Amino acid sequence: MIRILFLGDVVGEPGRKALAKRLKSMQEEMAVDFTIVNGENAAGGRGISGKQCIEILKAGATVITTGDHVWDQKDLPAYIETEPRLLRPCNYPAGTPGSGVVVLDTAKGPVGVLNVRGLTFLNPPLDDPFRRAADEVETLRAKTRVVFVDFHAETTSEKIAMGRYLDGRVSAVVGTHTHVQTADEQIFPGGTAFLCDAGMCGAVDSILGRTKESILRRFLTGMPTTLPVANGLVHLCGAVVEIDEKSGRATAIKRVSEPVDP
C-alpha cells in the first residue's frame, strides 16, 4: 500500500512557512510515501517563482502542481523547463513551457502525477481537459498503475464530472482552486478516490487566504484594490489517499486540516 498526501493551494508566505514548519512531521505521523502540493498561490497569493518552488520542495513536497496563476511570476516560464517536479496544467497548447505530467520512482514503485485545468469561468481558454486528461492517463498507465490527478477548476460540477470520467483509470482525482475544503471524499465504483476541493494552505482568519478588509472593500465598493495575503494561524488542508500499488485502486481517502502557527 502506498500513501499519498495531497495539500491544496499554498497562499503566500504564511502557507509556505507553515509547510516548512509542519510538513515533514506530518509525513512521519501519517506514514506518507509521496507528497503533492499545489503551489500556484505561493508568491504573495499569485503564482509561484523558482525560489518558492525550491522552498516548497525543501519543505518536503515531492511534486508541485499549479493552475490558472501558473504564469503570474515572470521567471516561471524559464524555470519550469529546468524542474520536472513542477507541473503546469497539461491542457495548455503544444509548445507551452514545462509539462503537465511526471512519473517518479518510490520505494513502493512509480507514481504518476497529472495536472489539469478546467474551462468553466477560467481564462485563458485551454484545450478540452477531459480528452486531454484521458490521453495523458493512457500514456501514464503504460508506466504505472498509480496515477494522481490535481484538477484545478472552478465549479463543483466540472470537478465531479472529471472524477466520474476518470473513474477506474486513475487512482485519485482531487480538486483545487476554490480554497474551501469540501466534505465529499469518497471512492467511486471503479476504485478512484475523489475530493471536490482540497482546500488551501492559508490563513484561517481570512477570505480565501486574503485579508478580510480588502475583499470586503472590493465587494462593498466595486472598486479595484490590492488584496494582501492574510497572516496568522494556517490550516494545511488536503487529503491522504491509500492506494494499492499493484492495481492502482484507492482503498481509503481521508481529509486533512492541520492547524499550524507559522
Q: Render each residue's pLDDT in the chain as its tens digit; 262 residues.
A: 999 999 999 999 999 999 999 999 999 999 999 999 999 999 988 999 999 999 999 999 999 999 999 999 999 999 999 999 999 999 999 999 999 999 999 999 999 999 999 999 999 999 999 999 999 999 999 999 999 999 999 999 999 999 999 999 999 999 999 999 999 999 999 999 999 999 999 999 999 999 999 999 999 999 989 999 999 999 999 999 999 999 999 999 999 999 999 8
Nearest by Cα to 85 from 26, 17, 37: 37
Report d(CA 110, CA 239) in Å as an integer.
Answer: 20
Among residues 69, 152, 179, 235, the one annotated as catalytic is: 69
DSSP β-bridge partners for residue 9 = 200
Question: CA–CA separation, 23 vs 260, rounded Å?
Answer: 10
What pLDDT does 45 receive? 84
Tell me whether residue 179 is one of the annotated catalytic residues. no
> What structural domains does the chain harbor?
2-260 (3.60.21.10)
pLDDT of residue 86: 98
What contacts 170, CB < 8 A, 6 or more positions away?
A: 114, 137, 147, 148, 149, 192, 248
pLDDT for 262 equals 86
**Residue-level pLDDT at 200:** 98
